[in-house]
Chains A and B, each alone.
Chain A
Amino acid sequence: MLKKLTVTALTLVFSASMVFGSGFSIYEQGAKATAMSGAFAAQANDVTAIFYNPAGITALNGFQVGFGVDIIMPHANFTGPTSTDPNLYTAADDQTFTPVTFYTTYQINDKMNVGFGFFTPFGLGSTWDDNWAGRYLATNTQVQTFFLNPVFAYKVMDNFSVAIGFNYAIGSVTMEKMINFPVNNSDVHSKLAADGNGMGWNIGLQYKPTEEMSIGFAYRSNVMLKFKDGDATFDLPVDETDPLYPIMRSTFPNTKGSADLELPTLMTFGVSYDFTDQLTAEFDYVVTGWESYDKLTVTFDDPVGGSTETTADKNYQNSASLRLGLEYRLNDQLALRGGYMRDNHAVPDEDVEPSLPEGDRDIYNIGFGYKMGAITIDGYYMLLMQKDRVITNSVHDFNGTYKSVGNLYGLSFGYAF
């Protein structure tokens, strides 16, 4: 009877986040690489190679560790929806995210290295006011993923290395939005909070045809994150003494929700070239296989709005980014870096909604590296300028303009024992 309510008003969607790679991927997993706009799969010459291209760790001697922290400060706003007021301006709440990374590598012998990485390749979040015009689409959306990634790398030849890794992923997601209860037009606050996990694999290849040139290829598989028995809670606008309470509570019982979320593949191809002893340039092409995220189905233990299942179309598309990075080594201690990247959107225009106000981006990076004996410090600043995204054909009739910029800062500390 109440099925439509679930399907429509109650699409408790795992959409997710304000993003820094297309969709909600985060490619910023090392300060050295990020200072060069992530063009690092060919160089892959520090411990963060475990993420960017694990074949690169065959060049790392002994036992090394790296620890990194990023400070991610996005700003986003929306003007619209045009069917309400084309000039209505709403800014998303500013949030700061501080994902951390940890890497370690160990050289078993001349041919073999093992490594382990901990990083967060997907995630972030968006928060809008509970009363804002898009409250039926999204108010608060937070997604976090943690990857535990042991790798094994093998030097086939002096100039050719391969690597393979296993990924165990842990995810947590919180999605909040309003649902309109049509009987009296009151707003019910819905929240789905769930934890899940999944597994995947990754490989890397690195080939150095000449002394100056390096070619890297890396691939990460899909990871099916299985969210089980999350808490679906509904805050009603009336208290238990209200005659409406039993009706609304039976419509929106607090229950458990489960869902599968297939994270995309990540494929990177990079070429680097040492123009001089001091100057290295790299170009990378990265494809994120977002087509894995075409719909999202949430199942409930008890019927919510009369239905135990709700499906939302996501229709993400594969997206590609072009990354160009430079490193200039002033001396043995200090290197300066910079980069530019163009990142293309994964969400089609008609499906863009405010939980994930993504778009095409121009991204500029600068950074430095400083080496003091066994200690390495790398830092970067990243400016993300998203092209204004004007939506006129939203399937949600939520047309308007999304604007976003982001400032990211990061530091990595490395130690070679």
Chain B
Amino acid sequence: MKLINSLIAVGIMALLVLSGCTLEEPAVKSSADVQLNEATTQMFGQYVALGNSLTAGYQSGALTEKYQKNSFVKQIANQAGVGATFAQPLIAYPGLGSYTADGAGIMELQGFDATGNPVINPVPYAATSFNPAMPYTSTDIMSYAAPYNNLGIPGIVLGDLDSAVTAAESYSHSGLVDPILRNPAFGNTNPIQQALMLQPTFVSVWIGNNDVLGYATSGGTSPAAPTDAAIFQLLYTNMLNKVTSGGQGAKAVVANIPDVTSIPFFTTIGPKIAASLLANNIPYPVAYEKTTDNLATGVATGQATTDDLLAGNTLVTLVASSYAGLIGQPTGAWYRYVAGKAGIPVSVLLSTMPAVDTTQAFGLDPRNPLPNALVLDPDEIAIAQQATSDFNTAIASVAGQFDVPVVDMNAFMKDLADGYTVAGVDFNASYITGGVFSLDGVHPNNVGYALVANQFIDVINAKYSTNMPRVDVMKFMKDLQTASMSKRAVNKTNAFARIPELFGGKILR
């Protein structure tokens, strides 16, 4: 009896052991591709993108095919099923951009120096077969019969959309107006006119960034003020009126302007200087030249404590990365750079500013301050932020008037600065390591542009009942994992100096 009981018990156990419960596999293991609805296929019958470098797909100081193919507007076109016919002015490697006048293209990371700072330099044309006079990837691109669908032109300001015809005939004087608008072949037409020539069914416009970025990235020096807010509103109204009434009565989407002061171009160097001062127990504040200072008659009056630099009350631009390491040393490196660029002896330059004494501690002594062009001080930050806020108010009001939805890129930039997570991947607005900004510290990288595309896609879908799928960021990142490094970049004394010139309208060809 005992034995039988035991056997029964053991038998039951054995059965259970063999039959342990398991999880059912679902029949559907991934979603089928989205079938685009009629609203999407109709609205994207002819898609045209207007804007600046952000629309063009500019990255790391240049416009080149390697990155243009990931421009956010191309990614939108891809998601809307019209990527194959979305024409872009593809520029060969290493591209046109901030360093074209120096005979170089895209910036590349060459490594980190002994102190952990990134070594970044542009790729010289001499190392490639690139010809800035015939920069396209092919003659098909060069002689494409219609205006390009992507009419984003790096460097342009709002006023250029309805007026720029050539680099010379534009507010921004951006050297990239010419290869993109290809006048006079296109009848000396401006970006809006070319867009309307395409009889667009849908137009995206992200413009106005440079109306404040030029001021901010030049440390408030070039131009000396952002675009006037009232003029901005007038120009924006005119622009949207033309865009939505021309062609086939195009539907449109616009985006507002992110707060420029949270981009890595401004947030990287200041905290680094502060950390270095603290680490070396240097008790002095940083001395910098304010816009109101005149070094011909008196020493610099700007002062920023380490707390100011850490908190971002005073911002130091990425251009200062070449000079941050010299702080505390007797150096005239900045003036040698400025004089060299102007083609004059440094003694001549310094003779115009007798208050400067380059034998004093650079950046600490008011007689040898951090130059104005490298610093966005609290007053300038306030001006830039006020301009951004005014522009965004204008954009919201004008867009409302034309029933055009606004992508809130300002809010998105704030989210990024706070840390932004997608499917387990953390991004933030830090330079290089944040994962969304390219090497110039101003423009997004491939992933950054994918995130931007998704912001647009959400707004477009919500407004127009389209059903474009979002860009799958994880898959996109996976697809990007073939990129390799080039050793063709060469050392330059100040790799970042040209960056603000993009926004100051000084891209040269």
A positions within 8 Å CB-CB of B: 1-5, 8-9, 11, 73, 75-77, 79, 81, 83-89, 91, 131, 133-137, 180, 182-187, 237, 242-244, 246-247, 250-251, 303, 305-306, 330-331, 333-334, 336, 353, 366-368, 370, 379, 381, 383, 385, 395-398, 403-405, 407, 409
Contact = CB atoms under 8 A, between A and B. Distances in A.
Contacts of A185: 446-447, 477, 480-481, 483
Given A5-B433, A88-B31, A237 B6 contact: no
A403 B423 contact: no
Interface centre among A137, A180, A403 (most CB of B within 10 A): A180
Interface stretch (B15-23, B143-151, B360-368): B15-23
Contacts of A88: 29-31
A366 B11 CA distance: 13
B111 A397 contact: no
Nearest to A353: B424
B198 interface: no
A216 to B, nearest CB: 27
B109 interface: yes
Contacts of B419: 8
Contacts of A409: 16-17, 20
Contacts of A183: 109, 432
A8 B117 CA distance: 19
A251 B112 contact: yes
B5 A330 contact: yes
- Residue of A79, A182, A336 ringed by the most chain B CB atoms within 10 A: A182
A336 B5 CA distance: 10
B434 interface: yes
The 5 closest A-B pairs by CB, nearest first: A407-B20, A8-B426, A182-B435, A5-B433, A185-B480
B392 interface: no
Given A137-B424, A182-B433, A242-B485, A83 B470 contact: yes
Given A81-B423, A184-B483, A379 B435 contact: no
Interface string B331-365: 00000000000000000000000000000000000
B492 interface: no
A76 B25 CA distance: 11
B225 to A, nearest CB: 33
Contacts of B436: 182
Given A185-B480, A247-B111, A403-B23, A334 B2 contact: yes
Interface in B424-442: 424-428, 430-436
Given A243-B486, A333-B2, A405-B21, A2 B474 contact: no
Contacts of B283: none
A405 B428 contact: no
B432 to A, nearest CB: 6
B434 A182 contact: yes
Contacts of A367: 13
B23 A405 contact: yes
B26 A89 contact: yes
A180 B117 contact: no
20 contacts: A1-B433, A4-B428, A4-B433, A8-B428, A81-B423, A84-B472, A86-B31, A87-B30, A88-B30, A131-B478, A134-B423, A182-B436, A244-B484, A247-B109, A247-B110, A330-B5, A334-B5, A381-B16, A407-B20, A409-B16
B25 A91 contact: yes
Contacts of B447: 182, 185
Contacts of B486: 243
Given A83-B422, A183-B109, 4 more contacts: A75-B22, A76-B23, A247-B485, A334-B6
Contact of A85 (B16, B30, B118): B30
B425 A180 contact: yes
Contact of B435 (A180, A237, A396): A180
Interface string B20-39: 11110110111100000000
A405 B116 contact: no
Interface string B108-141: 0111100011100000000000000000000000
Contact of B23 (A77, A353, A395): A77
Contacts of A79: 26
A135 to B, nearest CB: 8
A388 to B, nearest CB: 10
A268 B422 CA distance: 40
Nearest to A408: B20
Contact of A84 (B2, B111, B117, B474): B474
Given A8-B427, A79-B26, A409-B17, A395 B421 contact: yes
Of the listed residues A84, A237, A409, the one surrounded by the most CB atoms of chain B closer than 10 A to its CB is A84
A187 B426 contact: no
B415 to A, nearest CB: 11
Given A8-B426, A185-B447, A243 B433 contact: no
B424 A237 contact: no
Contacts of A8: 419, 426-428
A353 B426 CA distance: 14
A86 B423 CA distance: 11
B79 to A, nearest CB: 14
Nearest to A89: B29
Contact of B485 (A83, A91, A131, A184): A184
Nearest to B2: A333
A194 B29 CA distance: 36
A246 B423 contact: no
Nearest to A381: B16
B168 to A, nearest CB: 37
Contact of B116 (A187, A242, A306): A306
Given A9-B426, A184-B483, A397-B421, A84 B475 contact: yes
Contact of A405 (B9, B22, B434): B22
A24 B423 CA distance: 24
Contacts of A405: 21-23
B472 A85 contact: yes
Contacts of A243: 484-487
A247 B112 contact: yes
B201 interface: no
B272 interface: yes
A286 B487 CA distance: 62
Nearest to A79: B26
Contact of A136 (B13, B110, B425): B425
Nearest to A94: B22
Interface in B451-481: 470, 472-475, 477-478, 480-481
Contacts of A379: 13
Given A368-B13, A381-B13, A396-B424, A331 B2 contact: yes
Interface in B391-439: 419, 421-428, 430-436
Contacts of A251: 112
A397 B423 contact: yes
Nearest to B268: A1
A4 to B, nearest CB: 4
Contacts of B472: 84-85
Contacts of A366: 12, 16
A111 to B, nearest CB: 36
